[in-house]
Chain A
């Protein structure tokens, strides 16, 4: 009973997750036993060189893939046991993806791109409209609502992607190298936006290989050869890119307490 309550409180629990791929005759051990607890409103950076299992871990966390063995609970739901259709539903409701290459649908305008998760979630049209407009407003693109992605700058496109990730109010925003395709100034703006979201109570996991991106997070998990090499929390933000008003929240202090 206590375990269950604890599980529900935690945003995300991975315990001893192993992922093995079979490539031809060879077995590739991408994750060799990874255990991570991430509580609500944490801001985590996952780092590691290529081949460290970083991408695999992101796919597992993002419910795009299931572990070969081990447990994964997302908001109390056992993801490792899910069918493909349940995984799709979980991604839809609980996870907001932000990709390096934005991954917007080129034929659809900003509104339709942001609205899409709500459509697959089966929400009614008026509610979709209200939520979509709100999410677009949060990323400051209200005046670009009916533009196609190719009419937007890189930074604007990534903001659209963030709005799409936000629109269903997911348990977790999962960003994969979100500034990788942007110049440093625009990248800073995007990271500032993540900081702002975190300040507003959002749980965020950023996968990156850039230290200065990881510095925005309050906790850094370093992977090497499919294992956690280092899991450290920063007591204080070491970045100067914080927007005014985006002070570490109470929830963050709570998370910090729990880790102790």
Chain B
């Protein structure tokens, strides 16, 4: 029957995997899938290797050649990212038409959200810089230079994608001595993106904050933007929607004044004045007449009802 299409997990592990593919409130860290195209060698290969080095351990590397053209048919790419549980992908290929082609992209709901094709004009790999390297798993600072980054939607998306690619993980705290890597992206007038990566040297400045000196450690690349596929405004907005449960709750009835004092407002319900316990004064008691009257009234009511009933019964 039609229900055969719903697969039921057979093992506990399989169930866990299927569960992990469902929407989650707090998503796990975003891993990046590295895929080679039909041909992938030279600059593009070393570029991919360096990117892997920078993103480790949040990477998943596929080494075989893949006959995929992401801009024509992204289905197999979507499948591979889904299977490997990755949110981002980097696809490297080289051809006569598009030499040294790097496609960076990300997914939303198992479909490609945006995807930008960068051509490598000039590349110097990390191994070519004979300098001291940074440690592993260092969160880099990201610098975006140039006024162009904010001018077009495409570049804004590219900037967001680059942040996604390089910033690795969201952290609440950082070791001050551990800030040792900076990646800068400069967008020139002719839309070339210059990527440079430096090691940060903290020097004495005579104050608490150190003076910064930079040493280039590579990789350094000049990218040109080729084809792009960016998500529609609607989809992008939907993808950026944050769960309400994670947003900080607004504190009600608490205000702060200029002196730093906290003012709280307390709401009490309406007081029941008739039930309130007061001093028992003789004058406020019911007189015997009042009591009798009320009792009499009650009795009369019951009597009338009883008579009515008896009449009905007869």
A binds B: no
- B residues in contact (CB < 8 Å) with A: none
- A residues in contact (CB < 8 Å) with B: none
